[in-house]
Amino acid sequence: MSKPDFTLEQSIHAQGFLRVAGVDEVGRGPLAGPVTAAAVILNPAHIPEGLNDSKKLTPKRRAALLDALLETAEVSVAHASVEEIDTHNILRASHIAMLRAIEGLPTPPDYALIDGSMIPNGMTIPAQAVVKGDALSLSIAAASIAAKITRDLLMVELAQQFPGYGWDRNAGYPSKQHREALQNLGVTPHHRRSFKPVHNILYQD
């Protein structure tokens, strides 16, 4: 399997855009919790070894890489809330989180590489959508790591406030335990009411 590299970033640097942010989100599929995005600008002279799509890394490796990124790169993480997911829809909410992550960088980037097939509405800088970007671009892979770790930790915190749903293990995704807890314990303030399994419990005949 090929691993992400810095080719895309270098081609954009060659066009005169020196501060290229990789942007990725996590948490579109869960029934609970926010959707989380990260934006990362790598330092070309200090790229941590082993960056890859967060899903292909062990939790220990992800944590080590995030520590290295926080020392060498610019990293910004942002969320869109359950309310925003229910108000807009999950795609728009994930784009809101992406825009917030970009805006949260210490210095604005010149260019953004967005994981996926769409550039969010409201982008104020040049951008390119990259399908399966976390497997192609080191900057997007770095963003996938920062977003996943941040969201997973948040769901562990929420699991302590709302035990029984298994969010510390399933991160809000519809695991068997989570679906059974929805039936037995009901819907929490952190559940996405627009998502069918939650909606169906709220509006049972």
Q: What's residue 2's pLDDT? A: 77
Q: Is residue 9 marked as binding? A: no
- pLDDT tens profile 79-95: 999 999 999 999 999 99
Q: Which of 79, 62, 43, 82 is nearest to 146 (CA)?
A: 62
- 104 three-state secondary structure: coil
pLDDT digits (tens, 9 = 90+) for 46-104: 999 999 999 999 999 999 999 999 999 999 999 999 999 999 999 999 999 999 999 99
Residue 205 has pLDDT above 70, yes or no: no
User: pTM for the full model?
Assistant: 0.96
Query: In this predicted structure, what is the pLDDT of residue 202?
Result: 87
Q: In which band, very low, low, confident or very high, does the pLDDT at 203 lie, cut at 50, 70 and 90?
A: confident
Q: CA-based angle 199:204:205, to the nearest 5?
A: 145
84 has binding-site annotation: no
CA distance 24 to 41: 12
User: Which domains are assigned to the chain?
Assistant: 7-161 (3.30.420.10)
Q: Is 180 labelled a binding residue?
A: no
